[in-house]
Amino acid sequence: MQNPGARPQIVVFGDLERALYRLGNWHAIEAVADIRFYHQHLEGADLLAAAEQADALVLVRDRTPLDAATIARLPKLRFVVFTGSRNATLDLAALAERSIPVSHTDWGPSKESTTELTWALILAASRQLAEYSTLVHEGHWRFPRPQSLPGVLYGEVLGLVGLGEIGRRVASVGKALGMEILTWSPNMSAERAAAHGAHSVSLETLLARAKVVSLHLVPSASTRQLINAERLAQMRPDSLLVNTSRSALVDMPALADALRRGSIGMAALDVFDQEPLPADDPLRDTPRLLMTPHLGFVVEPVFERFAQGVVTGLEAWLASLT
């Protein structure tokens, strides 16, 4: 029970970018409540210690797991707001059992942002931009020994595993670059694929033919670790695997093994099984792997929407207390 006259305690988790306060107008909230921001990743006892006195929690995306066991140990909790419209690590049923209201923000141009990052990774990997940038920074101009030069995507095959809102946007760019577009998903039809300039094929055909394989599915029981050792072995030896969707779609140890053995050409990843990626994770030392720290939705316009939505939700909740 809230003590009469006590100021509500609001705790913000997962704002790694330190953007929510900068982009939102928190003045009205600060006038009546106390706010604490935790920018680092917290789990377990550290998470409970930070949240145990919270009346309201703000969660940036699904970076901070809030399961039923954790919720049960937060006796003061009365409100939760998260950014975006979907949170896979938040136990909504446990909150509903305690009649704790939940709010969320809209997305802003996150699908457009993820599409752009997908193509940034495809182009950077296929043109070896990271390697050439390092070469110039180190005072060189060309590599001292002969090596394979970058290829050209024109005339190549782009394989899209999933053709939803992001996959369709990725396909339109591939078509503009002169690529043939193949697609597969568990419920794909020839008509749906053709409507977006793609050809529906089996997953085996897509993997065997595509120079670039880009993943755009939400994981399900049938698609978790879809790209496993067996399917990696079906890919072209010069292929590029790109994942800006969910790490659960890929067997990460199998991918690292395939890259070390050279059975596929390259991979570019924006999502990982554990985030932030541990300092000793084997992926950090895996060759022919381009990595970005989950930047698909991390752009100023999206975080502006996040900040505005969080502030609006908190203001409405605080108003309901009076």
Q: How far apart are CA 231 and CA 184, in angstroms?
A: 14
**pLDDT digits 0-9 by tens, 157-207:** 999 999 999 999 999 999 999 999 999 999 999 999 999 999 999 999 999
Domain extents for the chain? 9-108+300-321, 110-291
**pLDDT digits 0-9 by tens, 29-53:** 999 999 999 999 999 999 999 999 9
Q: How far apart are CA 167 and CA 196, in angstroms?
A: 10
**4: pLDDT strictly greater than 70:** no
Tell me the sheet residues that pair with 269: 243, 291
Long-range CB pairs of 182-191, under 8 A, 24+ apart, other chains included: 182/157, 182/158, 182/206, 182/209, 182/210, 183/159, 184/159, 184/160, 185/161, 185/217, 186/220, 186/222, 186/223, 188/163
DSSP secondary structure string for all residues of 149-163: PP---TT-EEEEE--
In our burial notation (b when 16+ CB lie closer than 10 A, e otherwise), range 106-140 reads: ebbebbbbbbbbbbbbbebbbebeeebeeeeeeee
Helix (H, G, I), strand (E, B) or coil at 30: helix
Helix (H, G, I), strand (E, B) or coil at 39: coil
Q: How far apart are CA 47 and CA 64, in angstroms?
A: 8
Do 9-108+300-321 and 110-291 have matching folds?
yes
> Is residue 8 exposed (0-12), middle (13-18) or buried (19+ Cβ within 10 Å)?
buried
Token pair listed for 315: 């203001």
Q: Which of 52, 55, 59 is nearest to 38 (CA)?
A: 59
Residue pointed to by tokens 């095959």: 157
> Which homologous superfamily is 9-108+300-321 in?
NAD(P)-binding Rossmann-like Domain (3.40.50.720)
Contact residues for 234 (Cβ-Cβ < 8 A; gap 6+): 204, 207, 208
Cα 54 off chain centre by: 27
pLDDT band of 290, cuts 50, 70, 90: very high
- Give catalytic residue positions: 246, 275, 294
**1: pLDDT strictly greater than 50:** no
- pLDDT mean over 226-253: 98
Given the candidates 3.40.50.1000, 3.40.50.410, 3.40.50.970, 3.40.50.720, the CATH classification of the domain at 110-291 is 3.40.50.720
Q: Phi-psi category of 24—alpha, beta or left, where left has phi over 0 and alpha has psi -120 to 50?
A: beta
Q: Which of 84, 120, 78 is nearest to 101 (CA)?
A: 78
Planar angle of CA 89, 307, 49, nearest 5 degrees: 50
pLDDT band of 322, cuts 50, 70, 90: confident
**Whether the model pTM is above 0.75:** yes
